[in-house]
Structure 1
Amino acid sequence: MLSPELLHALRNLPLAAKQAAEGFLAGAHASRRHGVGMEFSQYRPYQPGDDLRRLDWRLAARSDRYYLRESEVDTSLTVHLLLDASASMNHRDANGLTKLDYGRLLLGALAYLAQHQGDAVGLTILSPSGLRHLPPRSDSRQLPRLYHALETADATGTFPDAATLAPLTARRQRALTVCVSDLYEEDGEINHLLKRLRAVSGDVLLLHLVADNELNFNYRGAVTLRDLETGQTLQIDADQQRAAYQAQLQAWLTDTAQAARRQGFDYHLLNTAAPLDGALREFLRKRAS
């Protein structure tokens, strides 16, 4: 599995998404229903009214009996991808990637996976200036549209307010919603949006991005920390504060995961220095459930 920095170094999101996703296509979900599909499953005896095109004529010639070939049918669904484009997603890790860079790669790979399984894929980029929304589609031109929107997305300001987000939950539409965010919020606005989406759309997969230098706090000596959304700064001695910081971070991550699962979300923590395979597996697992 290529590292995120190598994928990013390609400077080509369509190619990077394909490289990241292709190893997972063999794990595409097939339903338990049987019918006309891609993978052979079993034979069953012919019954009046069955489609004669599915008869195995070679087997009939050998056995003088008529059997139909049954295959497992891929079940398609609607996948709605959400990207948090608030300013905190500009946080940069030691590998040079921002959370936004990682989010672009991840959602590009997920879009590639979903479309190659026949799913209708849509994307909404969440920013305070408004929603950039591409409705779910399954045609061949959808991936280039999604890639262009991801490549041109900027992270600015704070997470959108309820009025800006209202169109997302105005209509009921069954979908698997995949949200990529660092979950930095002022008053539970991300959580509120996901609760509403679960109520009107169904399943929610929450992919929580945390940078490696946030998780391990591998700064040294006197450092100045700046809030990317408010501009506030804090001067600390990193060596003295490391233990307290990591204890508080782990407590927050534990509380966040527990709260998400209590509300019915599938929650997955992602280190932005790690390959994308964990998130891709989680997506395929959720898609198959």
Structure 2
Amino acid sequence: MAAASALGAHTGKLDLAVRHVLAGLGHGIHAGRERGAGVEFSEYRAYVPGDEWRRVDWKLLARADRYYVREAERDSHVAAWLVLDASVSMDEPSRSVDGLTKLGCARLLLACVAALAQRQGDAFGLVVCQGERAEVLPAARGPRHLQRVLARLDGVTAGGALPDAAALRAALHFTHASGLVCAAGDWLDWPSPLSEALVRLRRMRHDVRLLCLQTEAEVAGGFDAAPAYRDPERPDGVFRFGRDVRAAYLRNREAHFGTVNAECRRNDVPLLAACIERAPGAILREWLRTAQRRTGRA
């Protein structure tokens, strides 16, 4: 909880938070492919915590007295696409960690995936789903592009509902080549045009991985009964969360996510549900490990 509290204060400083989370992460989003034919030296870059020591150029260290890592061009790359649900329900705050929301946690974890893709030399792009739009930052490689992605994530605020099917078809134009799709949301709206688009991408042989973010209060039904609540995506009524409501809420929640999990299993889409109050590094490790067990990647 202490780690989550500390990082909750840095949700607006993604570069700092990403370094913190990745400092102890020893692996990437897929198996490295530096060995074998077609590997040619590309450039040097400064060492960052988590880089493999075997990639450090020791001769350059002796001359420059600084750690540098050799980057290589590969025959093929995995294009990583980060999909962010920025609908208004993602503005749900933690009841125990000040300043922490589902959106803030999603931004941080997707930023970490982008940093891992950059570390591995892969192209990565961003799709922000909010309201009537699905804004796309095209896939590219390199540290400068990582800073562009971090800046865009840093500026995302929650609002509106999810885009419709037409907007998503126009945005998800990267379907011509199989890649990695990491989507973070709360998946309260399921089925939806977004869930259908992600399942369609999986059927097109993309490696689709979903992260379901929720608060501890949502999971346990631990909402305060005193204040009145309004559904941010359906502002047509006000209600209070009394004892009589809690039992029905938990039943409906279990049924909803039972359907979500069943559809993900049926379509071979790994889904990890995690409370945002957990340490981000632990969530990221479990998310990557869950997907890697399915794919057999190291």
Same topology, TM > 0.5: yes
CA contact (8 A) 1:183 1:190 kept: no
Distance 2:191 2:33 in 1: 42
Q: In structure 1, what residue type is equivalent to 2:276?
A: T
Q: Does 1:279 align with 2:284?
A: yes
Aligned equivalents of 2:29, 2:82: Cα separation in 1 = 18
* Secondary structure class of the residue paired with 2:104: helix
After TM superposition, give the deviation of residue 186 of structure 1 in Å.
Answer: 6.9
- Report what 2:68 is aligned to: none
Alpha-carbon distance between aligned partners in 2 of 1:12 and 1:122, rounded to the nearest angstrom: 20
Match of 2:160, as an amino acid? Answer: G
Deviations 1:192-249 (Å, cap 9, x if unpaired)? 1112222345110010111111111222434422111121334235233323322322
> Offset of 1:4 from its aligned partner?
3.1
Greater shift in the superposed pair: 141-150 or 208-217:
208-217
SS in 2 for 1:273: coil
Q: Which residue of 2 aligns with 1:157?
A: 160
Tell me if the contact between 1:82 and 1:180 (Cα under 8 Å) persists in the aligned partners.
Answer: yes
Look up the match of 2:265. Answer: 261
Q: Counterparts in 2 of 1:1-289, with a 5 A limit? A: 3-10=3-10, 11-26=12-27, 29-30=30-31, 34-35=35-36, 76-94=77-95, 95-96=97-98, 97-170=100-173, 171-185=175-189, 188-200=192-204, 202-276=206-280, 277-283=282-288, 286=291, 289=297
Contact 1:127 1:158 (C-alpha < 8 Å) held by counterparts: yes
Are the structure 2 counterparts of residues 245 and 230 from structure 1 closer, same or farther at C-alpha, using a change threshold of 3 Å?
Answer: closer
Does the aligned pair in 2 maintain the 1:90–1:155 contact within 8 Å? Answer: yes
Q: Which moved more, 1:74-83 or 1:213-222?
A: 74-83
In the TM superposition, residue 31 of structure 1 has moved relative to its aligned partner by: 5.2
String of CA shifts for 1:165-194, please: whole Å, max 9, x gaps: 112344412111000011132752222111
Whole-angstrom CA distance in 1 between matches of 2:259 and 2:88: 23
User: Counterpart of 2:16 in 1: which secondary structure?
Assistant: helix
Gaps of 5+ in 1: 41-72
Give me the whole-angstrom Cα distance separating, in 2, the residues matched to 1:218 and 1:236: 12
The normalised TM-score by structure 2 is 0.76
Query: Are the structure 2 counterparts of residues 28 and 78 from structure 1 closer, same or farther at C-alpha, using a change threshold of 3 Å?
Result: closer
Paired residue type of 1:282: W
Sort the Cα spacing of 1:186 and 1:91 in 2 relative to 1 into closer, same or farther, 3 A: same
Q: Would the aligned equivalents of 1:205 and 1:267 in 2 still touch at CA under 8 Å?
A: yes
One-letter code aligned to 1:235:
F
- Cα distance in 2 for residues equivalent to 1:234 and 1:216: 21
Unaligned stretches of 5+ residues in structure 2: 40-51, 55-73
Which is higher, the Rg of structure 1 or of structure 2?
1
Q: Report % sequence identity.
A: 29
Instruction: Judge conservation of contact 2:77–2:121 (CA < 8 Å) in 1.
Output: yes
Structure 2 vs 1, CA of residues 17 and 281 (structure 1 numbering), >3 Å: closer, same or farther? Answer: same
AA matched with 1:86: S
Instruction: Please tell me whether the aligned partners of residues 135 and 171 of structure 2 are also in contact (alpha carbons under 8 angstroms).
Output: no
TM-score (norm 1): 0.78
User: Structure 2: how far apart are the matches of 1:114 and 1:100?
Assistant: 21
